[in-house]
Homo-oligomer: A and B are copies of this chain.
Amino acid sequence: MFFLTPVLVAVLCILVVWIFKNADRNIQRKKGEPGARTKSRAWVDEDLRDSTYLHQAEEDADEWQESEENVEHIPFSHTRYPEKEMTKRSQEFYELLNKRRSVRFISNEQIPMEVIDNVIKAAGTAPSGAHTEPWTFVVVKDPDVKHEIRKIVEEEEEINYMKRMGHRWVTDLKKLRTNWIKDYLDSAPVLILIFKQVHGFAANGKKTVHYYNEISVSIACGILLAALQVHKGVTAQHETSGHPICSRVMEEAV
């Protein structure tokens, strides 16, 4: 492909998302909150919208081991650099991340799987609601699977452009000159698919709530992008090749 030269490559950061289910998002608003703040509402209400969770709550109430109540807090310790070093490190990190770009042509050059593993492990250190870690990372290298993914993405994206998202969205994207053709899903040697788990399962098979799961997964994506950038250099003057990873956020079908 004409544009797929070694310098026309990097991490892809345009997030395209599918939802494979049409869960009812109508929220049962709770009435009677006190005082002037009656309009406030916590996002987690949406995570609780499946009423089966609420029915299980009563019976689950006693599952937690009371013995854990007496566990001591663990002191947290870490290095604290002198102020000058602290400032220098924060400056260098900003400059490194500021070199990241969202691109639409990606090199097919290979990358060690150990790097992919480390990047995903770094993303997995993200905080999450009630420490539920509601994410699944899937690494795809097989050309046929990548191509199948591309076909699904392009089919969905074409619907976005042609009808789903409306005239306004198409207009807003016009200056970015994007479209639904995603060559890079074939050319990138590695795709990292990121799924959010909208709920989990307890040992007894019951559903567990994943609070703030979309926010948690997105935070993990931010850390993943930072990790991808870190194993590249801070200078951009003598490179010979590009970065072959494409990150996309997708919702897990449940």
Chain A interface (Cβ < 8 Å from any Cβ of B): 3, 5, 7-10, 13-15, 17-22, 25-27, 29-30, 33-35, 37, 39-45, 48, 53-54, 56-58, 60-61, 63-65, 68-69, 73, 75-81, 83, 86-87, 89-91, 93-94, 97-103, 105, 111-112, 114-115, 118-119, 121-122, 125-127, 129-131, 155-156, 159-160, 163-169, 171-177, 208-209, 211-212, 214-216, 218-227, 230-243, 249
Which single member of B10, B63, B166, B173 contacts A78 (CB below 8 Å)? B10
Q: Are A79 and B176 in contact (CB under 8 A)?
A: no
Q: Can you give 29 A-B contacts (C-beta < 8 A)?
A: A8-B75, A15-B215, A15-B216, A17-B42, A17-B212, A25-B26, A40-B156, A44-B165, A57-B168, A77-B239, A78-B232, A78-B239, A78-B242, A79-B232, A81-B233, A86-B115, A87-B112, A87-B114, A87-B118, A90-B122, A90-B227, A91-B118, A93-B118, A94-B121, A98-B121, A130-B173, A214-B215, A219-B219, A219-B221
Q: Are A54 and B168 in contact (CB under 8 A)?
A: yes
CB distance from A238 to the nearest CB of B (A): 7
Q: CA A165 – CA B42 in complex, angstroms? A: 8
Q: Are B94 and A168 in contact (CB under 8 A)?
A: no
Q: CA A235 – CA B112 in complex, angstroms? A: 26
Closest B residue to A58 using CB positions: B167
Q: Are A167 and B76 in contact (CB under 8 A)?
A: no
CB distance from A19 to the nearest CB of B (A): 5
Please give, as numbers and ranges, the residues of chain B lying within 8 Å of A35 by CB-CB distance: 155
Please give, as numbers and ranges, the residues of chain B lying within 8 Å of A39 by CB-CB distance: 20-22
Closest B residue to A111 using CB positions: B86
CB distance from A189 to the nearest CB of B (A): 13
